[in-house]
Structure 1
Amino acid sequence: MVATVGMGRMTRMRRGVTTAALLAAAVTGSLVTGCTSGGGPGDDGRGRHDEPAPTDSAGRPADPVLAVKIDNASAARPQTGLNAADVVYAEQVEGGLSRLMAVYATRLPETVGPVRSARESDLELLRQFHEPTLAFSGAQHKLLPLIDKAPLDPVRPEENSAAYFRGTDRAAPHNLYLRPRKLMDAAPGADALTTGFRFGAAPAGGTPQAERTVRFPAARFTFTWSAERERWLVAMDGRPTVTTDAGRAAPATVVVQHVTVRTSRFHDVLGNYTPYTQTVGSGKAEVLRDGRVFDAEWHRGSAADGTEFTTADGKRMNFAEGQVWVVFTKS
């Protein structure tokens, strides 16, 4: 049974009055500066929040997954708890670098991290889950009111200090870690993964693929097929991705999803604007499984929907059982 994440929700209620002015300012600012379409932060692009909540296999509202923003700078590696995630999303951030979001539903590791800050794109991506718990270290100050308004449970260190701690083996800010079981008693289970992904036997066809590299402006991910392990071995920026607690990162399926990456309205302290990764819509994708690559199409009708992948003949694309990595790359 999943415990109530009471600290985050109570804090949100307490913040409701004090952040009202900030919310109004954020809305006013968006009207002045303008918003591009495509499922903006915390809504479906039209300011609506009335889509049906994601449901489990029995039609009940799905229990909340745990999503953790994980630092991926070189100083943050090796990471901890990455291999326990059901899904790992890789997105582009300022300066062309990368950051990860790990989603936990079937297992909760003892520790996850290093934990870093959230981005505007995360709000759209997380709408596919029912009130997910988002663990993150903070965000751009103008984004924080939108995180509070979104249909998720944000948990920051200042609101739940018992769940976070600072490691001693590296310098801040790359040493903040999360204890997931301080937030929930047990993993919610596979039904909470309302991603739209489908698992099963591989379709016919595909092309043999030994290695695939995806490049961001200042980062790269390489996936090398291991027939012995029947997994894709991950390397980042030319170095093997080895976790502190579970060895080499090795997902069963890798999705290279071609998306629109545009400039958001938020920027870092140096004035670098954050890329916005648009995950509602449709486009091309490559699905790597079983040592082969399959050309696919992806479609996500609204922010409340999961993402469907289909093969060239229009049939649903099955993923291999096990962890999935999704790398968002610019179309």
Structure 2
Amino acid sequence: MRQMARLRRGAMTAALVTAAMTGALLTGCTGAGGAGGGATEDGRGRTQEPTPSQDATTSHGSVLAAKIDNVPAARPQTGLDAADVVYAEQVEGGLSRLMAVYASKFPKVIGPVRSARESDLELLRQFDEPTLAFSGAQHKLLPLIDKAPLHAEPPEQASAAYYRGTDKPSPHNLYLRPDRLMGSAPGSAALTTGFHFGAAPAGGSRETSRTVRFPAARFTFTWSESRRRWLVAMDGTPTVTTDGKTVAPATVVVQHVTVRSSQFHDVLGNNTPYTQTVGSGTAEVLRDGRVFHVKWARPSATSGTEFTTSDGAPMNFAAGQVWVVLAKA
């Protein structure tokens, strides 16, 4: 079955590359990808259901990682509050994009879904053949995605799992129904991130707000004592989902990493940054209204990331959603 899937994805990749050369595929890394399965929805539950296809019912037993659009025109997002882990990465022009990882539960809808980057392949190696939901990629990157140890599921391959909404203009309106793509969620045991959860270590400093800046984007996390959570704001606007839920992780990690140029560019000629998540460095962990200065280490792509305090002990995260902002060192 795995060999058949590879052959199927290989054929799809060849078709996509050919389409790109003729202009049918969305050009560059900022392209929107293919259309969904014909249904429309505004992200608030009003749908017209298409007929499911065989492609949309596969279950892989690993995490679902979805690339989430994060420009102002894409907000508010849908299903972001249900992710176990949200990674924030820098993309072309200094903007940001999110990788939302789901294991414990699936929301009804996730989106808007956008295109993949080369960095995603390294980041996702820590999971056992994860499913990657994305809406296309720079055409030279497609062969690398096909060779990666993951299940690539763009709309062209699982059309019944995707649809175009009516709440936002294209390309910011592609949504995913995760249960049509994978069935049920695999469970928290699939989160092989290396994260440790438990009581906070001694020490740390009082911290009620932290802002992380990219060249053309910023994230602010403000501690809510009443909710015991960090309230997220992006580019100065509070982050809420389409159904009005505040996005509020229990733990925020500002991980300082190498961000270098890659071999890829977008349609405007902007270089695509490569965010390197294998290696070691420093980080700040925000939990319980405090900041802890820690070290991080990921010795290989197949390893999770270990965060340790100054005495070498594992840095425990608070139970709940984790945001990891991959900031340039």
TM range (shorter): 0.7 to 0.9
| 2:202 matches 1:204 | yes
Distance of 1:319 and 1:186 partners within structure 2: 26
Partner residue in 1 for 2:180:
182
Match of 1:16 among 10, 17, 24: 10
Question: What pairs up with 1:34-183 in 2 under 5 angstroms?
Answer: 63-183=61-181
**Do the aligned partners of 1:81 and 1:246 also contact (CA within 8 Å) in 2?**
no
Alignment deviations for residues 41-88 of structure 1 (CA, whole Å, 9 cap, x no partner): xxxxxxxxxxxxxxxxxxxxx931000000000000000000100000
After superposition, the Cα gap between the structure-2 partners of 1:157 and 1:18, relative to the gap in structure 1 and judged at 3 Å, is closer
**How large is the Cα RMSD of the aligned pairs?**
1.9
The change in CA–CA distance for 1:22 and 1:82 in structure 2 (over 3 A counts) is closer
In structure 2, distance between residues paired with 1:270 and 1:172: 18
Q: Secondary structure at the match of 2:182?
A: coil
Q: Which residue of 2 aligns with 1:26?
A: none
1:264 aligns with 2:262: yes
Superposed CA deviations along residues 199-253 of structure 1, whole A, max 9, x for unmatched, are 0000000000010000000000000000000000000000000111351110000
Secondary structure of the residue aligned to 2:252 is: strand
Number of matched pairs: 287
Q: Kindly indicate whether the alpha-carbon contact (under 8 Å) linking 1:108 and 1:187 is maintained by their aligned counterparts in 2.
A: yes
Contact preservation (8 Å) 1:9, 1:153: no
Residue type at the aligned position of 2:245: G
User: Structure 2 matches for 1:230-241, cutoff 5 A?
Assistant: 230-241=228-239
Distance change >3 Å, CA 156–CA 9, structure 1 → 2: farther
Q: Which moved more, 1:164-173 or 1:182-191?
A: 182-191
CA contact (8 A) 1:253 1:287 kept: yes
Give the conservation status (yes or no) of the 8 Å contact 2:252–2:322: yes
Is the counterpart of residue 295 in structure 1 residue 293 in structure 2? yes
Alpha-carbon distance change, 22 to 243 in structure 1, aligned in 2, over 3 angstroms: closer
> Structure 2 CA distance, aligned partners of 1:294 and 1:77?
31
Instruction: State the SS of the aligned residue for 1:234.
Output: strand
Q: Distance in 1 between matches of 2:138 and 2:98?
A: 17
Structure 1 residue runs of 5 or longer lacking an equivalent are 1-5, 24-61
Q: What is the TM-score of this pair, normalised by structure 1?
A: 0.84
CA contact (8 A) 2:13 2:142 kept: no
CA distance in 1, matches of 2:12, 2:257: 36
Q: CA deviation at 1:15?
A: 4.1
The Cα offsets for residues 80-109 of structure 1, whole Å up to 9 and x where unpaired, read as 000100000000000000000000000100
1:165 partner letter: Y
Could you tell me which residue of structure 2 aligns to residue 218 of structure 1?
Answer: 216
Gaps of 5+ in 2: 18-59
CA distance in 2, matches of 1:295, 1:85: 25
C-alpha separation in 2, matches of 1:90 and 1:10: 33
Equivalent position SS for 1:255? strand
Amino acid aligned to 1:243: T
> Deviation string for 1:108-143 (max 9, x for gaps)?
000000000000000000000000000000000000
